[in-house]
């Protein structure tokens, strides 16, 4: 079953003070996110990621199109009891303490009274803020607010979680913890939809990604499919600092780093390369096909979009 089905969402804003003119923030968007997957929504700043999330959350209204979330109409308030949302650079009621804030959100999400305190305490523990639960949020750092934001998004045990730039404002340890948490959510059977422009995060986490640029969807697919564009080359790594003459004869591009050597050769020469290393009694570490990185795929999609936009102009 699809957790999210976006059926032609489109958003146009009227801009200008006297002479209003339309500005398209999102071209008709069709997208499916499967149940239980981590889905990355990628794009540069201003691409339309946040607009899409706001449309799904009912914070802005679409000019056209609709969506289904967990099999129901997206605007159905009952759907919202089963989803969690972390906005980009979240800001919360700073007169409240972390505990009071989470308790308030738990009330609004319909968490039963008896369970509320236990759930809030457990959530503060989970995001690493148990010691500051009685501190007002106005005294929190950006990273701590981001943790509170993550806690409020998953507090009510939703089936589907939307994160808008979840790593924003976090230090390397915090980013690692968020990645771990997203993986835990997946293991718990939840669907995670997150927007980011940090490709390494998406590559490390996502089952599938979509790329959006200037409000238009440029590509969708599984990470392994997007990055499996084997270019007829393999990467051979062996231990040592020595590059045998027979390897050079194969036309290998060799790079020595520390006590390993990395060589890129044609795929049809890999048996010859293994023989050459064996003859020289060198210890082979790995042979893997060369894949296009997600970054290369992303850049290529964006460049193609820029070129076609230039031609149109």
Partner 1 sequence: MNARIGYIASNTFREAVRDRVLYNLIAFAVLLSGAAILVGQISIDIEKLVVINLGLTAVSLFGIVIAIFIGIGLVSKEIEKRTLYTVLSRPVRRWEFIVGKYFGLAGTLVVNTFFMAIGVFAALFYVSHKFVRADALILVALYFIVLEFLIICSLALLFSSFSSPLLSAVFAFSLFVVGSFAEDLRGFAGMAHGLTRWLATGAAYLVPNFSAFNVISSIAHEQPVAAQLIWHNTLYALFYAAMALSGAVLIFERRNLK
Give me the residues that bind partner 1 (CB under 8 A), please: 13, 54, 57-61, 77-78, 80-81, 83-85, 87, 90-93, 95-96, 100, 104-105, 107-110, 149, 152, 162
Q: In a 3-state reduction of DSSP, which class is residue 71?
A: coil
Comparing CB distances to partner 1, the nearer of 87 and 221 is 87
Comparing CB distances to partner 1, the nearer of 8 and 58 is 58
| Continuous segment of H or E residues that includes residue 97 | none
Q: Which of 154, 164, 167, 44 is nearest to 105 (CA)?
A: 154
Q: Measuring CA to CA, how many Å separate 207 from each of 5, 8, 33, 220, 277?
A: 17, 23, 10, 11, 36
| Inter-residue contact 275 to 248 (CB < 8 Å) | no
CB of 283 to partner 1, least distance (A): 55
Comparing CB distances to partner 1, the nearer of 81 and 204 is 81
Comparing CB distances to partner 1, the nearer of 60 and 204 is 60
| Inter-residue contact 167 to 201 (CB < 8 Å) | yes
User: How far is C-alpha 4 from the chain's CA centre?
Assistant: 16
What is the sign of the dihedral through the CA atoms of 181, 183, 185 and 191? positive
Q: Which of 6, 17, 20 is nearest to 54 (CA)?
A: 6
Q: Measuring CA to CA, how many Å separate 271 from each of 90, 239, 267, 268?
A: 55, 18, 9, 7
Comparing CB distances to partner 1, the nearer of 63 and 266 is 63
d(CA 170, CA 63): 35
Residue written as token pair 């050769």: 265
Comparing CB distances to partner 1, the nearer of 64 and 108 is 108
CB of 153 to partner 1, least distance (A): 8
CB of 80 to partner 1, least distance (A): 4
CB of 293 to partner 1, least distance (A): 33
CB of 196 to partner 1, least distance (A): 18
CA atoms within 13 A on the CB side of 208: 14
Comparing CB distances to partner 1, the nearer of 5 and 100 is 100
CB of 160 to partner 1, least distance (A): 11
CB of 200 to partner 1, least distance (A): 27
């Amino acid at each position: 079953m699809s957790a999210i089905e976006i059926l032609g969402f489109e958003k146009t804003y009227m801009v200008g003070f006297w002479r209003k003119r339309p500005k398209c923030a999102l071209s008709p968007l069709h997208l499916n996110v499967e149940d239980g997957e981590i889905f990355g929504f990628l794009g540069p700043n201003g691409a339309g990621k946040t607009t899409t999330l706001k449309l799904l959350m009912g914070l802005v209204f679409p000019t056209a199109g609709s969506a289904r979330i967990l099999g129901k109409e997206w605007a159905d308030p009952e759907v919202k009891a089963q989803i969690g949302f972390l906005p980009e650079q979240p800001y919360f009621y700073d007169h409240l303490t972390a505990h009071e804030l989470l308790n308030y959100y738990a009330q609004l999400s319909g968490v039963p009274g008896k369970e509320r305190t236990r759930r809030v305490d457990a959530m503060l523990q989970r995001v690493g803020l148990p010691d500051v639960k009685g501190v007002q949020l106005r005294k929190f750092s950006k990273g701590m607010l981001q943790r509170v934001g993550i806690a409020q998004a998953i507090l009510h045990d939703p089936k589907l979680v939307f994160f808008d730039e979840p790593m924003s404002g976090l230090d390397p340890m915090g980013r690692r913890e968020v990645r771990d948490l997203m993986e835990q959510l997946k293991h718990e059977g939840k669907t995670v939809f997150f927007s980011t422009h940090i490709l390494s995060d998406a590559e490390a986490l996502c089952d599938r990604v979509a790329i959006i640029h200037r409000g238009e969807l440029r590509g969708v697919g599984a990470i392994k499919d997007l990055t499996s564009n084997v270019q007829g080359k393999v990467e051979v790594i062996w231990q040592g600092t020595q590059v045998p003459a027979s390897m050079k004869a194969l036309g290998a591009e060799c790079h020595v780093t520390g006590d390993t050597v990395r060589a890129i050769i044609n795929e049809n020469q890999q048996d010859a390369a293994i023989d050459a290393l064996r003859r020289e009694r060198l210890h082979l570490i790995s042979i893997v096909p060369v894949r296009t990185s997600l970054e290369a795929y992303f850049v290529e999609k964006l460049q193609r979009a820029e070129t076609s936009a230039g031609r149109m102009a």
